[in-house]
Amino acid sequence: MAFESLGEKLNGIFKKLRGQGKLSENDVKTAMREIKLALLEADVNFKVVRDFIKTTTERAVGEQVLESLTPAQQVIKIVHEELKSLMGGENAKISVSPAPPTVVMLCGLQGAGKTTHCAKLANMYKKQNRRPLMVAADVYRPAAIKQLQVLGTQLDIPVFAPGDGMRPEDIAKAAVAHAKANGNDFVFLDTAGRLHVDEELMDELRTIKAEVKPTEILLVIDAMTGQDAVNAASAFDEALGIDGVILTKTDGDTRGGAALSVRAVTGKPIKFAGTGEKLSDIEPFHPDRMASRILGMGDVLTLIEKAQESFDAKKAAEMERKMRSRGFDLNDFLEQLAQVKNMGGIETLMSGMGMSAADISKADPDGKQFARTEAIVLSMTKKERSDPSIINSSRKKRIAAGSGQKVEDVNRLLRQFEQMNKMIKRMSGQMKGGKLKGGRFRGLGGMRGTGFPF
C-alpha cells in the first residue's frame, strides 16, 4: 500500500513522543530530525522537506503546545495539518466549461498510465450522468488506439479513433467537433508519451493545446517513480502550463515522495489518484484524507463513499426490514461479502478504518481469510444459512470438508456470527434510513471490534 513505510516510521516517532508525557523543546526538535530523515528516505524533495520541518518545528515548539495537557497529540495534529497543507489543503476538481464540451487533455511520460486513466476518468464522469467521449490521439505507441477502443467497449463509452494519416492535433480538433455534434459534454484526450521529456513531444502537445484550447491539462505521473515524477511535472508545467496531476499506482509499494512533493514544487494540485488495476479504481485526491492515511489514522470518509457507490437502496431497505423482524442470517452475510468485494476487499476496508499493515497482516496473514470465510458459508445449504442453529456436528464436518477447512474454523465462524447477530439486534431498534442515531453510517465499518472475519 502507498506510504506504508513512511507511515510506519512516523508512527514509531509519535509513539516515542506519547511515551514521554511532558515534552521539552529539545524532545520536539529530536522528533523533527527523525521526521526529516523519514521524509527524505521516502524520496520527498529536499527543499520541500526543509521548508516542511522549519514550519512544523516553529509551530510545535510554541508555549501553547508544550504547556498543553497532551503535547504529543498537539504535535501530531500540527504534523497532520502541515502534511495536508503540503499536498494542497483541499480537493481540487476539474473545471467544467460553461460551453460544452469540457475538454480534458491527458499528457505524461510513456508508461505512466495515460490510456488506462483516460478510461478511468471517463468512467467516473459517466457514473455522474455525464456523456464522455474518449479520443485516441496517440498515433505512435503500438496498439494504443486499440487499447482505448477495447476499454471503451468494456465501459460502453464511445471512442473517437483517427483516420489514416491523421496528425494528433487534427484528431483532437475533429474529436471536439464530433462531441459537439453528438452531445458529448466531456472529451478526454489520450495523447502520446515518450520515455523521457523531449522538445518533439512538447511541440506536439503545444500544437494540440493551440488547436483545441483544452479546459484542463492533466499530467499523469507514476507515484512509484519518486523524484523523476517531480522533475517531469516541472518540465511539463513549464512547457504547457498544466492544471493538475493524476497520481497513478498509489496502491503499489511507493515511498510517497511524489505525492508529497508535486504540489509544493509545481504549485499545481493533485486532482485524482489511481488506486488499483480495475477501471473503477480512481478517486478524487483529498489532501486531508491522504495525510490521515500517512499518519495511520485511516480514511473513513473514502470508505463510506465507496460503500455508498456499491449501495443498493432497495436491498438496504429489505435488509433493514429483515433485521427488524428476524435478525441477520448467513444469506444476508453473503450479500455483505459481495459489498466488501465491490468496495475493494478486506484490505481496503481495514486500512480505511485506520488499521496498520501489521494489524491487517495479523488478522489475515496470507490474504486468504476472506476467501476461506466465503467458502465455508457457500458450503452450507440454503436452510443452514437461513437457520445456523440446525448445524450439528455431522453438518459441521460436511461443511468443513466441502470448504477445505477444519471443523474448528466452522465453529469459529458460527461463534463470531452469533456475536455479530446479537449486536445487530441491539442496533436494529436505533436504525432509520440507513443510519444509526448520532448519524453514523450503517455498514460493515461499524462492526469493527466484533472479531468478525471480513
**pLDDT number for residue 163:** 79
Q: Delimit the CATH 1.10.260.30 region(s) of the chain.
A: 304-447
Q: For the chain, give percent helix, strand, coil, nearest 5.
A: 60, 10, 35
Would you mind telling me the total number of residues written for the chain in this entry?
454
> CB within 8 A of 12, min separation 6: which ones?
none
pLDDT value, residue 254: 57
> 269-293: buried (b, 16+ CB within 10 Å) or exposed (e) per residue?
bbbbbbbbeebbbbbbbbbbbbbbb
pLDDT of residue 363: 53
Identify the segments of the chain with pLDDT beneath 70: 1-3, 69, 252-256, 296-327, 339-367, 423-454
Going edge to edge, which strands form the sheet with 102-107?
159-160, 132-136, 186-190, 102-107, 216-222, 244-248, 270-274, 282-284
Domain with CATH 1.20.120.140 in the chain: 4-86
Kindly state the DSSP code that residue 253 receives in the 8-state scheme. Answer: S
Confidence at residue 151, expressed as pLDDT on a 0 to 100 scale: 96
Q: How far apart are alpha carbons 50 and 362 in whole angstroms? A: 36
Q: How far apart are CA 346 and CA 373, in angstroms?
A: 12
Q: Domain 102-297 adopts which CATH fold?
A: Rossmann fold (3.40.50)
Cα 296 to Cα 11, 18, 257, 326: the distances in Å are 7, 15, 17, 38
SS3 at position 428:
helix
Nearest CA to 336 among 160, 454, 177?
454
Which letter, b or e, does each residue of 423-454 get, where b requires 16 or more Cβ atoms within 10 Å of its Cβ?
Answer: bbeebbeebeeeeeeeeebbbbbebeebebbb
Query: Residue 223's pLDDT is what?
Result: 81
Q: How many CA atoms lie within 13 A of 59 on its CB side?
A: 16
Residue range(s) in the chain whose domain bears CATH number 3.40.50.300: 102-297
| 101: preceding bond cis by omega (within 30 degrees) | yes
| Pairing of the two strands 270-274 and 282-284 | antiparallel
**CATH placement of domain 4-86:** 1.20.120.140
Contact between residue 349 and residue 454 where contact means Cβ atoms under 8 Å apart: yes
pTM: predicted TM-score of the whole model, two decimal places? 0.67
Alpha-carbon distance of 290 to 298, in angstroms, equals 9
Q: Which pLDDT does position 433 carry in this prediction?
A: 45
- Helix and strand counts by DSSP (H, E) for the chain: 21, 8
Give the pLDDT confidence score for residue 440 in this predicted structure.
Answer: 39
- As assigned by CATH, the class of the 304-447 domain is mainly alpha
